[in-house]
Amino acid sequence: MHMADALISPAVGGTLWAATAGLIAYCSNKMRHSFESLQAPLMGVLGAFIFAAQMINFTIPGTGSSGHLGGGLILAILLGPCPAFLAIASVLTVQALFFADGGLLALGCNIINLGLFPCFIAYPFIYKPIVGDRPSQGRIVTGAILAAVAGLQLGAFGVVLETYFSGISELPFGTFVLLMQPIHLAIGVVEGLVTASVVSFVWKARPEILDLAAGHVPAGRFSMKKVLATLGVATVLVGGGLSWFASAFPDGLEWAMARTSGKEELAAPEQGIHATLSHLQEQTAFLPDYGFKSGENASEAEGEAQPRAAAAEEPTWPDVKTDTSVAGVVGGGLTLLLAWGVAVFLKRGHKTA
């Protein structure tokens, strides 16, 4: 559900950038005043894991579409809303800057759609009331599925509203919303099951982590080495190898766009802020579309990935590529450094406050 710049007008993109900046400032301030040092490494490793997990698109049977993990709900459950929002913002920033996954003008929209709704709505108002103070396997699964579905439905509707207010005539509101919501309902169910699996592992290994994220400070310090090591290994395996098994079908957004406008991608204006940011992204994205930069894929560094419809005609599966593995590991490492670095910076601010 990463939006390209062609879907967003400068007014909408700028407004959502401002909203994102405000939320980042709010979350940073909250963390400075209530920061637990144990959260810093977890924030980094979880951010890296979500980066890698988002590289795997899973096929939605009978649709010709695919979906991928959003990850905001996992982060919110294991970190709390504010650290989770900063972590998902780190993931999406690394993706846009270095892998041309999502546009720079649309970055604020993507952070709101994939961060605000799961972290500040789905988690506190759906997941927490269902799971309560005494988690069980059944409650975690039920809460994760319902919260993931709600979060993705809100995010998908956010995409529709953003394109509508941007005046994208190729994507009329009625048709687009009737395609976006059902396909992301199916994706949300899968995300809920994956979320429940990850959360259940952490709950069994270190239930104190969930208490810490929920605002209940556990008695004494505790070791997270097992959890961090497992998530770190999972990040390398997923980004470095399992990413070869990603579906070749278009994701939910591309699928809905293709059935609404006849195209999985729309052309961005060749002048103005769109062109400026496209050129900037071309310079920063050293692994565009998660592959080595070459003449064949150089244009993808502009935030416009190659149409997956062509790949879907003659899919190669698994699609074993060295550059995909490099992108998964490097991207996970960059996300870890950024998210952990943000946490360390805020930790120092907390100490000196």
Give the residues across from 67 on adjacent strands: 58
Structural domain for 135, as ranges? 5-352
Q: Look up the pTM and report it.
A: 0.92
The answer on pLDDT for 115 being more than 80 is yes
Query: What does the DSSP 8-state code read for residue 166?
Result: T
Torsion of CA 331, 114, 298, 52, to 10 degrees: 30
DSSP assignment string, 7-64: G--HHHHHHHHHHHHHHHHHHHHHHHHS--TTHHHHHHHHHHHHHHHTT--EEETTTT
| Strand-pair category, 58-60 with 65-67 | antiparallel
Q: What is the pLDDT of residue 307?
A: 45
Number of Cβ atoms within 10 Å of the Cβ of 299: 16
Q: What is the pLDDT of residue 299?
A: 46
The SS3 call for residue 351 is helix
What's the domain count of the chain? 1
pLDDT (tens digit per residue) in 39-94? 889 999 999 999 999 999 999 999 999 999 999 999 999 999 999 999 999 999 99
204 backbone dihedrals φ, ψ, rounded to 5°: -75, -35
Q: What is the pLDDT of residue 37?
A: 74
Nearest to 247 by CA among 83, 56, 26, 76: 56
Torsion of CA 202, 88, 7, 261, to 10 degrees: -10
The answer on pLDDT for 351 being more than 90 is no
As a whole number, the mean pLDDT across the chain is 91
Q: Label residue 312 by pLDDT band (50, 70, 90).
A: very low
Lowest mean pLDDT among 99-108, 171-180, 191-200, 341-350: 341-350
Q: What is the pLDDT of residue 266?
A: 94
What single-letter amino acid sits at 243?
S
The answer on pLDDT for 315 being more than 50 is yes
Q: What is the pLDDT of residue 121?
A: 98
On the question of a cis peptide bond just before residue 318, with omega within 30 degrees of 0, the verdict is yes
pLDDT (tens digit per residue) in 168-183? 999 999 999 999 999 9
pLDDT (tens digit per residue) in 237-296? 999 999 999 999 999 999 999 999 999 999 999 899 999 999 999 999 999 999 998 755
Give percent of the chain with pLDDT exceeding 70.
Answer: 91
Q: What is the pLDDT of residue 309?
A: 42
Q: Label residue 353 by pLDDT band (50, 70, 90).
A: very low
Calpha distance 207→314 (Å, rounded): 46
Highest-confidence segment of 221-225, 274-278, 299-303 = 274-278
Averaged pLDDT for residues 27-36: 85
CATH number, domain with residue 335: 1.10.1760.20
Nearest to 31 by CA among 290, 347, 337: 347
